Structure 1
């Protein structure tokens, strides 16, 4: 080993300077080759040839996308326009059979029919296409008001309409007098495919009898108390109505706690007078206020007098509740109760929830409460 070392030192001393310089210049190249070899061994080598290949691959992909753009657009359009399998189909338009149109058309036709006369038959042309020859003078009758009372669809697109008319009849002297309310039945047919685009009368009107009126016995107030002068419930109702339409007193003095009713404004009357009281109580003679929570329905008729001294009859349906020895108005009903809907106040299910107590007042009077 020592002999080999001495030989190597002698060879190094014998190298020329040019050889040493060449060795120094080639050292970096050797280093780069070593680094490249190390990178290749570790799997992270990136050569110029590899980068060029990647660039060519990217350019190829871009051209593929550009070339396939129109095809993708067509496919997307077809996909958006095609109906989804789960999307529900739109429902067909529903044809309306409402009688509002035929009823209004019949009212106009009857009004024109009553006012037409000899020489003015053309006024009926918009409603009736048949031939008409009138012999009475035009304006002999006039329709003051018209109202459709009944409209029935006899068959598809074909209605029978009954019209009530308040008629003014012309006298021989030229003036008009009230001829009362008369009734005419008209046959109306639709002229459009949808049964609402137009109508026509298939014949002239037929005058008919008035419809049967409802019987008063259908109302749910079997007990009559006359003017109710000695009845605490009637007295509370009268005081309430004086405040409600005549501006006499405060409404909350006569209503149950939590009940809010606004008075009529401006005040239309100066005073009222009770002319009749009916209720749903089974005892028409009792004037005693029952225990808390008892309910009672009242139908009260009054004569209301205005500032000019004219009196007008009015009827109100009220619901009352007993509390602390007096009656209080619990509701101003939209309509009088019918016999089928009315329940006698003496029945157990007519009990109302107990209201907060208040100081008792003498029978037949009303005072402020703590509501």
Structure 2
């Protein structure tokens, strides 16, 4: 190919129509054949789109998900009930226990007057292991609460005790926190520093379990036999769980099995089921009656260490034998007779 002289505008001096590409090399005008081939490709592509267009549109219409007619989820304010104040108190007490010199800003997120506090010691000298709100009392509905928080902490050894080899100690400590929310449902805030208090104690009547005295588990008792085989399958993977549960009951064994063996140690029946000899056995069912039990078991881990566990469950009679009808969430209880409590004190509006 004969190269022409380059002129302004990228045209060659001999008029052949040659020019420079972006990298400084030469390119030639496309031939008539290549233009025809490109035109043919474009034409075929256009026909393909024209034919496939309706098909693609129909597929998109059919594959659209069905409209979701479920109601939109309701976002519940964290200030409702006791969940919000309890969680707030847990975080506040944890920050308070870890606080030290320079921690005022962290505490100010919970207590507005924290900037004026004089804090001593190294931050995080006290380590918080577990913390939980154990009691939340609503003083003014939706406005004012008193929360009691339990904290399991690792405290540093006493000053000068390092030479004697004294180690940090773990203690359970309790704190009470006053918490408020503004009238517009805004963020929670602490009205004061936490108050360390004694562990919540007795004095309030307690509910009692609605079962008789615990009876030693006798292997000859049909109820104990069913329960023993059930827990062996449920906790240690020994046997088929479905053999010991009533038709229609859905229970899934614990997986992976956390124990290598399970032994039933005692049972407490909701009503007096004994055999004719009155020897403390529950005996076999006479029909399709139901029996609620609290069962104590000893479960041995793979390392051989046994742990006591307690379960509430309901047995159902069928064909002269007991089957597990339900693994109850809680045991049945008998509530004590409690006199009407005096009205809780409330805040009076500021005048």
Distance 2:219 2:133 in 1: 42
Q: Per the alignment, do residues 152 and 120 of structure 1 end up closer, same or farther by CA in structure 2, a change over 3 Å counting?
A: same
Aligned-residue offset at 1:300: 0.9
**Equivalent residue in structure 1 for 2:225, among 222, 231, 235:** 235
> Mapping of 1:159-308 within 5 angstroms?
159-172=145-158, 173=162, 175-180=167-172, 182-190=173-181, 192-196=182-186, 198-212=187-201, 218-283=208-273, 285-308=280-303
CA displacement, residues 321-341 of structure 1 (integer Å, 9 cap, x when unaligned): 222222221111111111359
Check conservation: 1:278, 1:300, Cα contact below 8 A: yes
Q: Per the alignment, do residues 216 and 270 of structure 1 end up closer, same or farther by CA in structure 2, a change over 3 Å counting?
A: farther
> Mapping of 1:42-191 within 5 angstroms?
97-130=80-113, 131-155=116-140, 157-172=143-158, 173=162, 175-180=167-172, 182-190=173-181
CA displacement, residues 128-171 of structure 1 (integer Å, 9 cap, x when unaligned): 23232234554342221221223333235222222121122111
Aligned-residue offset at 1:98: 3.8
Q: Per the alignment, do residues 241 and 216 of structure 1 end up closer, same or farther by CA in structure 2, a change over 3 Å counting?
A: farther
Aligned-residue offset at 1:230: 3.6
Q: Which moved more, 1:165-174 or 1:94-103?
A: 94-103
Q: TM-score with structure 1 length normalisation? A: 0.59
Q: Per the alignment, do residues 122 and 95 of structure 1 end up closer, same or farther by CA in structure 2, a change over 3 Å counting?
A: closer
Distance 2:245 2:228 in 1: 12
**Residue-pair matches, total:** 245
Which structure: greater helix fraction?
Answer: 1
> C-alpha root-mean-square deviation of aligned residues, in Å?
2.8
Distance 1:224 1:154 in 2: 41
Aligned-residue offset at 1:95: 12
